[in-house]
Chains A and B, each alone.
Chain A
Amino acid sequence: MRATRVVLGLKLILWLGALAPAGWMVAGFFLDWLGVNPIEKVTHVSGMTTLVLLLLTLAVTPARRLTGWNALIQLRRPLGLFAFFYAFVHFSVWMVLDLGFELRWVAEDISERPYITVGFTAFLLMIPLAVTSTKGWIRRLKKKWTRLHALVYVTAALGCIHFYWLVKSDVRLPLVLAGAYAVLMGSRVPHWVRRGRGALPRA
């Protein structure tokens, strides 16, 4: 079937594309192309990759409805897990390399810097989603799984805010990503309306 083959091809692209930033960072570390502030570079690349992957995760369902190719749903879990992987790298680089595990500084940053507060919250919210991403958990949680995983809407929104709040004046890229988030969420609204008011949205 054509759609299946397309999805298979997309999966291949997904794996290669999602691993590329990690490969670029590891190679850059050894080949010295991360510039004179490598910690900042790795922080930025991992953060940006997280946000892009989160938005791609959110794009799966609209794309599926648009094309009618339900097989696209197979892309959602790997996209989400790769997003979590990069969020974990981002968080670890910040805590271990940037702040040198000084928990006093970590606590101060999380409590006093709003962009870090929202970024840290976004990361925390991803943990239960990553943990419950297996088939077993989907079966066990049944309908609750869908509700739980609606948290990704919150995570992606916080991610966009995190990015917007940290730049000094050039907000163009943060606005592009926030705009993409708005479009992806907006595209769900007609569907939610059809399913009736009050009901929690389906992922």
Chain B
Amino acid sequence: MLIRRPADIRSSEITPEQTYVNRRAFIGQAAAGAAGLAMAPSALAAVERMAEAAAPPQQVKYADLKSEVGENVNSFEEITTYNNFYEFGTGKSDPSRNSGGFRPRPWTVAVEGHCAKPGNYQLEDFLAPQKLEDRVYRMRCVEAWSMVVPWRGFPLADLVKQAAPTGNAKFVEFTTLVRPAEMPGQKTRVLDWPYIEGLRLDEALNPLTLLVTGVYGTDLPNQNGAPLRLITPWKYGFKGIKSIVKIRFVDEMPKNTWWVTNPREYGFYANVNPEVDHPRWSQGRERRIGEFRRRETLMFNGYAEQVAHMYAGMDLTRWI
């Protein structure tokens, strides 16, 4: 996978003219429900980052994007109508159905804990210094389904460096908003609110780790974690905490919500690992949404090259 600064690649450079011309036909087919089929082989493969945010939006055809190994991206509909966000209900279509009343603006984000430059930011100020970019990542849910998603965001590492964590900062803890009036799922006790997630500092600094503000080149829909969420593509989806209001540098391993809920089944690391089954189902295979046959799950969700070194020497059957 290529990790490049966005300036390295202009979308006009990586989109061959032929593909670009054919796009209209493709978009027409996609509109007719043929998305994902009839995709012309394209030089887009192996390119993960597509365009800088500054590019005119019509130059990026998100439905044409591919993962670094040439997988088609899932449709906007698939990504926005089928996901988990227990704040809006426990069913897979609950988030899209129940998040209409959620107001992600105005929004504040607190950066605190063991860092030299803590702060309380309006979202606009929080994002102002960051350079947004599009990246296509696989998303593997702990429930054994998966998608390929064109996210828009910026490396968490950029924020971490700006916050200047002190030597005591060993982990980063994230907290989701609590607002039961707009998040109806929070009126129940299915999870211990607020939702908490965490990363080890080196995981937070890994170039793959993104703070995400958009999908398909547009702002995150409410159901996908508006206005700010985490994406760690080599970990199960529940690590991707949504609607973040607090980012805290801490010295102890954060007690993430699913681990608290069921420590036997969910760990802190939650690295995608086909060798270690969930106690109740196999993690060796997954259903890619839109595909009929299950496919084999890859170690670290196919990102081993970028992340495996962080876990060298760790017993991954113990540190689930």
A48 to B: closest C-beta gap in Å = 12
Provide the A15-52 mask, 1 if CB < 8 A to any CB of B, else 0: 00000000000000000100111011000000000000
Contacts of A166 in B (CB 8 A): 280
Evaluate whether A35 and B82 lie within 8 angstroms (CB atoms) in the complex, with A114-B280, A168-B143, A170-B90 already known: yes
A203 to B: closest C-beta gap in Å = 32
B155 to A: closest C-beta gap in Å = 29
Provide the B281-320 mask, 1 if CB < 8 A to any CB of A, else 0: 1100101011011100000000000000000000000000
Contacts of A109 in B (CB 8 A): 282
Contacts of A112 in B (CB 8 A): 277, 282
Q: How far is the CA of A37 from the CA of B78 in the complex (A)?
A: 9
Tell me if A192 is interfacial: C-beta within 8 Å of chain B: no
Interface of B, secondary structure class, is loop
A118 to B: closest C-beta gap in Å = 12
Cross-chain contact B280 with A113 (CB below 8 angstroms): yes
Cross-chain contact A35 with B190 (CB below 8 angstroms): no
Interface of A, secondary structure class, is helix
Tell me if A86 is interfacial: C-beta within 8 Å of chain B: no
Tell me if B92 is interfacial: C-beta within 8 Å of chain A: yes
The number of residues on chain B lying at the interface, defined by a beta carbon within 8 Å of a beta carbon of chain A, is 28
Q: How far is the CA of A38 from the CA of B33 in the complex (A)?
A: 15
Contacts of B92 in A (CB 8 A): 35, 37, 40
A164 to B: closest C-beta gap in Å = 11
Evaluate whether A100 and B293 lie within 8 angstroms (CB atoms) in the complex, with A35-B81, A36-B77, A36-B82 already known: yes
Cross-chain contact A170 with B145 (CB below 8 angstroms): no
Tell me if A115 is interfacial: C-beta within 8 Å of chain B: yes
Cross-chain contact A170 with B190 (CB below 8 angstroms): yes
Write the chain A residue with the least CB distance to B257.
A169
Cross-chain contact B190 with A169 (CB below 8 angstroms): yes
Tell me if B191 is interfacial: C-beta within 8 Å of chain A: yes
Tell me if B29 is interfacial: C-beta within 8 Å of chain A: no
Cross-chain contact B280 with A37 (CB below 8 angstroms): no
Provide the A84-105 mask, 1 if CB < 8 A to any CB of B, else 0: 0000000000000111100001
A163 to B: closest C-beta gap in Å = 13
Contacts of B262 in A (CB 8 A): 168-169
Task: Determine which of A36, A40, A97 lies in contact with B81 in the assembled complex, contact meaning CB atoms within 8 Å.
Answer: A36
Tell me if B261 is interfacial: C-beta within 8 Å of chain A: yes
Q: How far is the CA of A90 from the CA of B277 in the complex (A)?
A: 23
Cross-chain contact A115 with B280 (CB below 8 angstroms): yes
Q: Report 13 cross-chain contacts, Cβ distance below 8 Å, ordered by A residue.
A: A32-B33, A36-B290, A37-B287, A37-B289, A98-B287, A100-B293, A100-B294, A112-B277, A112-B282, A168-B90, A169-B190, A170-B90, A172-B188
Residue numbers of B with Cβ under 8 A of A are 33, 75, 77-78, 81-82, 86, 90, 92-93, 143, 145, 188, 190-191, 261-262, 277, 280-282, 285, 287, 289-290, 292-294
Given contacts A37-B82, A98-B294, 18 further A-B contacts (CB under 8 A): A35-B81, A35-B92, A35-B93, A36-B77, A36-B78, A36-B289, A36-B290, A37-B289, A105-B285, A109-B282, A112-B277, A112-B282, A114-B280, A169-B86, A169-B90, A169-B191, A172-B188, A172-B190
